Amino acid sequence: MKISLDGGALCANQESRFGNYFFSLNLIQALDSYDAENHYSIYAFCKKPKELELLSKTVYKQLTPKKMWMRLRVSLEERTNKHDIFLALNQAIPTTSSRIVAFSHGLSFYYHRDLYPDSYSILMKQLMTMNERATFIIVSSSKVEQELASVLQNKARVVVIPFGIPLDFITYSKTRRRKYFLHVGMNHPIKNFEFLMRAFSEVKKDRRFRDYKLIRIAKSSLSRGKLRKLYQEAAAYVTSSLYESFNLPVLEALSQNCPVVGLRSAIIPEFYDFVNVADNRQDFISMMKKIASADSKKINQTKLRNKFSWQNYVKKLTKLY
């Protein structure tokens, strides 16, 4: 089959490469590596990122201009070069005769509308378009599946496929823990970073943790190698988002044997077996202290890697074709 997909997220600038960028990058590489039956055309409005390595059967098409890119340029390409399926990786859908498989990245804008004043209307329109036109809607957790079923009143076409461990985080090293807690994420109110600062200030009042630091990575310009080392050496990864549809940094941390403390709103059910989940700030503070003051329970890497695998992701996705 001939399949086209939206690779626009690959054009994010260096400092804005968070969830959607790494999801798109890893899924495209996984499709290229693990699907030998189908042929893919990637649409983007920038040159191919150097991190994206492709085999000859996958074509990368730089489509310009960027202005009204999906509505006009991608739609024109779809009319000119017919495909069987269009993978809407970033929720937006062009005019196309192809069957559509859309990917929803959650409903944070729906449940926290006040935090998305500039994008709520666009995101809501994309959701309604997905509901009207997509043959399947792919989500990354059972949490989002249930939410979509409630909002759209239709669960039959929603398919849960959790992300895989990022391909550049497959290996890990045993490293001595250092005195800091780590948080990674874009600078947006939905990440609820103030909660972490308040919790950390309470932890610091305990004389045992006066030397500890809270390191926040809010820009993705840090090299992936340095980020891996930060995960490997952190006392724990901490997250307190008001909403998460997946929370990729949690999986990155776990893949590097870094224990995780998360507020329940920031943790999807698929992570419950691997993460310390807190229901309030006092629980959160207690868990931070407990993990930092003792050797944490080892993360079952075999179970983690079987559950969060890009090879399995591709296998489940291609079955829908």
Residues 121, 147 within the same domain:
yes
The CB density around residue 294, as the number of other CB atoms within 10 Å, is: 8
Residues 129, 42 within the same domain:
yes
What CATH number does the domain containing 132 carry? 3.40.50.2000
Would you state the pLDDT for residue 155? 64
Cβ partners under 8 Å of residue 114, min gap 6: none
Is 0.85 topped by the overall pTM? yes
Q: How far is CA 238 from CA 92, 184, 289, in A?
A: 31, 9, 12
Tell me the per-residue pLDDT of 88-145, one tens digit each, with 9 for 90 and over.
999 999 999 999 999 999 999 999 999 999 999 999 999 999 999 999 999 999 999 9
* Contact indicator for 184, 262 with CB cutoff of 8 Å: no
* Contact indicator for 167, 26 with CB cutoff of 8 Å: yes
Higher-confidence residue of 175 and 107: namely 107
| pLDDT range class, residue 161, cuts 50, 70, 90 | very high
Residues 90, 219 within the same domain:
no
Average pLDDT of the residues in 188-205 = 97
174 pLDDT more than 90: no
Q: Which two tokens stand for residue 218?
A: 């809010």
3-state secondary structure of 267: coil
47 pLDDT more than 80: yes
* Contact indicator for 96, 115 with CB cutoff of 8 Å: no
3-state secondary structure of 302: helix
296 pLDDT more than 70: no
Would you state the pLDDT for residue 156? 66
* Contact indicator for 239, 260 with CB cutoff of 8 Å: yes
Phi, psi (deg, nearest 5) at residue 145: -55, -45
Residues 47, 153 within the same domain:
yes
Residues 61, 177 within the same domain:
no
* Contact indicator for 163, 246 with CB cutoff of 8 Å: yes
Render 142-166 in DSSP notation, one character per residue: HHHHHHHHHHHS--TTEEE-PPPPP
Residues 158, 184 within the same domain:
no
Q: Which two tokens stand for residue 139?
A: 């989500």
What is the chain's mean pLDDT, rounded? 94
For 95, the domain range is 2-166+309-319
Residues 14, 143 within the same domain:
yes
The CB density around residue 174, as the number of other CB atoms within 10 Å, is: 6
Q: How do strand 136-139 and strand 236-239 relate by DSSP bridges?
A: unpaired
Q: How do strand 276-278 and strand 58-62 relate by DSSP bridges?
A: unpaired
Residues 206, 156 within the same domain:
no
Residues 6, 151 within the same domain:
yes
Residues 81, 175 within the same domain:
no
Q: Which two tokens stand for residue 28?
A: 């495209």
The tally of domains found in the chain comes to 2
Task: Tell which residue, 167, 192, 190, has the closest CA to residue 251.
Answer: 167
Residues 132, 162 within the same domain:
yes
Residues 175, 260 within the same domain:
yes
43 pLDDT more than 80: yes
Handedness of CA 247, 5, 26, 68 (dihedral sign): negative
3-state secondary structure of 232: helix
